[in-house]
């Protein structure tokens, strides 16, 4: 059932999450996130996540009406004119649809491993501090059929507002697990017969086009510039690079992820 409430004031305690959009780290620690892009909000509704509330302009209430009425749960929806929404959010609003939701319980590594079909296609990330880049990586993982994504302990949270937004809602469809020790997780994968490949240009790296990516595999990506740490490199079976002309050191991690995962999916038909 929908509970609609038109608001004029910015002071209601129930609007706290929307007033503090720029403090998404605090939201993550509290186990919640806010979707601030209309397309992401639509995908959030379709994913049937447990919503806390929504903040909509009248126009977006009309557009989302069928999806909202189809939900079986009680949902509190705050309605405000665009200028009030902009005052709450602190910046100019181009769309006017927001939703606050609980971060879902994370599946365990064991659960994801057991539920994933073979051959496995996995991805792992280390030291990605940009929420936008991590969101783009998640979007690529969904686009190219990654069974689950492993987020290392030195990465930012995938549930930060900018990460959720940059994923364009793909995070609602992408199984992922966060590990407190990426090296240990990679060693465990190798012990289970999963080949771990470091996406890392260095002397002796193999060319991506020469690799057979059809078996159980995990491609490991690091931040642009520093790349992967020595410990993570040592935990991988091979280092692989995308051939590039002299003077080009590397690609943005989101671009590199797309290239590697596309090649893996192409080889798998």
Q: Is the pLDDT of residue 222 over 80?
A: yes
Can you give the pLDDT at residue 174? 97
Per-residue tokens: 70: 């189809």
Q: Which domains, and CATH codes, for the chain?
A: 2-102 (3.30.1330.30), 109-267 (3.40.1280.10)
pLDDT: which is higher, 94 or 133 = 133
Name the band, by pLDDT with cuts 50, 70 and 90, for residue 83: confident
First to last CA, the chain: 45
The percent of residues in the chain predicted with pLDDT above 90, rounded, is 80
Q: Which of 250, 216, 221 is nearest to 152 (CA)?
A: 221
Q: Is the pLDDT of residue 145 over 70?
A: yes
Can you give the pLDDT at residue 88? 66
pLDDT per position as a tens digit, 22-52: 899 999 999 999 999 999 999 999 998 889 9
> Under 8 Å CB-to-CB from 74, ≥6 apart: which residues?
1, 3
Q: Is the pLDDT of residue 259 over 70?
A: yes
Can you give the pLDDT at residue 89? 60
Its sign, for the CA torsion 254, 256, 261, 266, is: positive
Q: Which of 42-56, 58-72, 178-192 has the highest mean pLDDT?
A: 178-192
Q: Is the pLDDT of residue 85 over 90?
A: no
Can you give the pLDDT at residue 91? 58
Task: Give the whole-angstrom CA distance, residue 262 versus residue 258.
Answer: 6
* Section 226-249 average pLDDT: 93
Distance of CA 172 to the CA centre of its chain: 8
| Cα 195-197-200 angle, rounded to 5 deg | 170
pTM for this one?
0.95
Can you give the pLDDT at residue 246? 87
Can you give the pLDDT at residue 265? 98
Exposure of 92 by Cβ count < 10 A (0-12 exposed, 13-18 middle, 19+ buried)? exposed
* Section 143-148 average pLDDT: 98
pLDDT per position as a tens digit, 112-125: 999 999 999 999 99
Return mean pLDDT, the chain: 93
Name the band, by pLDDT with cuts 50, 70 and 90, for residue 60: very high
pLDDT: which is higher, 72 or 228 = 228
């Amino acid at each position: 059932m929908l509970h609609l409430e038109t608001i004029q004031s910015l002071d209601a305690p129930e609007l706290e999450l929307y007033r503090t959009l720029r403090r998404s780290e605090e939201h993550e620690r509290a186990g919640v996130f806010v979707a601030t892009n209309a397309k992401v909000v639509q995908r959030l509704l379709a994913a049937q996540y447990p919503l806390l509330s929504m903040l909509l302009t009248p126009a977006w209430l009309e557009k989302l009406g069928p999806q909202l009425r189809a939900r079986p749960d009680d949902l509190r929806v705050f309605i405000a004119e665009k200028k009030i929404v902009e005052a709450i959010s602190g910046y100019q609003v181009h769309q006017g649809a927001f939703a606050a939701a609980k971060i879902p319980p994370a599946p365990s590594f064991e659960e994801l491993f057991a539920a994933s079909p073979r051959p496995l296609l996995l991805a792992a990330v280390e030291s990605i501090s940009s929420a936008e880049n991590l969101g783009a990586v998640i979007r690529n993982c969904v686009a190219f059929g990654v069974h689950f994504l492993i987020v290392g302990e030195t990465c930012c949270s995938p549930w930060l507002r900018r990460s959720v937004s940059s994923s364009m809602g793909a995070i609602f469809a992408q199984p992922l697990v966060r590990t407190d020790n990426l090296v240990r997780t990679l060693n465990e994968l190798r012990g289970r017969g999963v080949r771990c490949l470091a996406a890392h240009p260095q002397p002796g790296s193999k060319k991506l086009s020469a690799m057979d990516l059809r078996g159980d595999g995990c491609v490991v990506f690091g931040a642009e510039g520093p790349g992967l740490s020595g410990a993570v490199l040592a935990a991988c079976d091979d280092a692989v690079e995308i051939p590039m002309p002299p003077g080009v050191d590397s690609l943005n991690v989101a671009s590199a992820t797309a290239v590697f995962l596309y090649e893996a999916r192409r080889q798998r038909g």
